[in-house]
């Protein structure tokens, strides 16, 4: 819908990750870019997940996720976990992974990983923000360069989802006007 808006939001730098999720004997993984560190003490990461993803139900039930950091060359991995759903196929088949201390899958060929226990979740627009405490992690490929989200272009189809304007209702403007007027007086 808006190339200009997509380009603007892509100036916010993010990496590209495969997030492993688990509940009981069920496991899955999906590509994610909207991940950030949000606390030093305790160490915490945020993950923004589309609730329509098959992985979301496993995060909700299993209360854990593992962030597997990808390196520059792993575009086939990005496609495999980002363009197909665990509803259609067993995406983990054929990939080397082990279970982390939370039970979430950790890929042996990742650049690094963070094993996280979910602290809380919050609906945030069309996604769900998941905050996790990092319980374990390591660099598996010292010196390798992490992949960036910008490098993946429009692989996730995000461009079609960006609006052409920052908000779509004049009510936002009216609320903003009354709030700032009230604060000044
Ligand atoms: C480069 C890239 C980045 C993505 N980032 C996210 C993300 O941050 N959050 C999310 O929920 N989905 C993201 N996706 C989409 C999911 O990976 C995709 O919908 C996937 O098929 C979901 O798999 P699942 O249904 O097995 O959980 C991204 C996809 C790509 C290709």
pLDDT at 185 over 60: no
pLDDT for the residue 125:
96
* Of 30, 68, 157, best ligand 1 pocket probe by most atoms within 8 Å of the beta carbon: 30
The answer regarding whether domain 17-147 maps to CATH 3.20.20.80 reads no
- Cβ 103 under 6 angstroms from ligand 1: no
Q: What is the pLDDT of residues 17-26, one digit of tens each?
A: 999 999 999 9
- Cβ 74 under 6 angstroms from ligand 1: no
- Residue 155 tokens read as 């692989």
Q: How far is the CA of 68 from the centre of ligand 1 (A)?
A: 13
- Cβ 20 under 6 angstroms from ligand 1: no
pLDDT for the residue 152:
95
Q: How far is the CA of 60 from the centre of ligand 1 (A)?
A: 16
- Cβ 112 under 6 angstroms from ligand 1: no
Predicted confidence band of residue 1 (pLDDT cuts 50, 70, 90):
low
CA dist 28 and 39 (Å) reads: 26
Q: How far is the CA of 75 from the centre of ligand 1 (A)?
A: 14
Strands (E), the chain: 17-23, 26-32, 35-39, 44-49, 64-69, 97-99, 105-107, 112-124, 127-139
Q: What is the pLDDT of residues 34-83, one digit of tens each?
A: 999 999 999 999 999 999 999 999 999 999 999 999 999 999 999 999 99
Query: Which residue would you say has higher pLDDT here, 21 or 172?
Result: 21
pLDDT for the residue 10:
86
**By the 8 A CB rule, do 103 and 64 touch?**
yes
pLDDT for the residue 92:
98
State which ligand 1 atom lies nearest to the alpha carbon of 79: 31
pLDDT at 9 over 90: no
Q: What is the pLDDT of residues 76-135, one digit of tens each?
A: 999 999 999 999 999 999 999 999 999 999 999 999 999 999 999 999 999 999 999 999
């Amino acid at each position: 819908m808006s190339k200009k808006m997509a380009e603007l939001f892509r100036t916010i730098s993010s990496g590209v990750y495969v997030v492993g999720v688990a509940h009981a004997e069920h496991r899955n993984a999906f590509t994610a870019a909207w991940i950030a560190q949000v606390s030093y003490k305790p160490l915490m990461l945020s993950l923004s997940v589309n609730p329509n993803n098959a992985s979301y139900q496993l995060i909700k039930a299993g209360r854990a996720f593992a962030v597997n950091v990808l390196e520059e060359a792993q575009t086939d991995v990005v496609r495999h976990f980002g363009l197909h759903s665990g509803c259609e196929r067993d995406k983990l088949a054929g990939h080397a992974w082990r279970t982390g201390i939370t039970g979430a899958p950790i890929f042996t060929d990742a650049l690094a990983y963070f094993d996280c226990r979910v602290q809380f979740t919050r609906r945030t627009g069309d996604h769900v923000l998941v905050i996790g405490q990092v319980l374990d992690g390591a660099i598996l490929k010292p010196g390798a360069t992490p992949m960036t989200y910008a490098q993946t272009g429009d692989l996730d189809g995000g461009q079609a989802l960006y609006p052409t304007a920052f908000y779509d209702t004049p009510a936002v403007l009216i609320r903003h006007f009354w709030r700032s007027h009230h604060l000044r007086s």
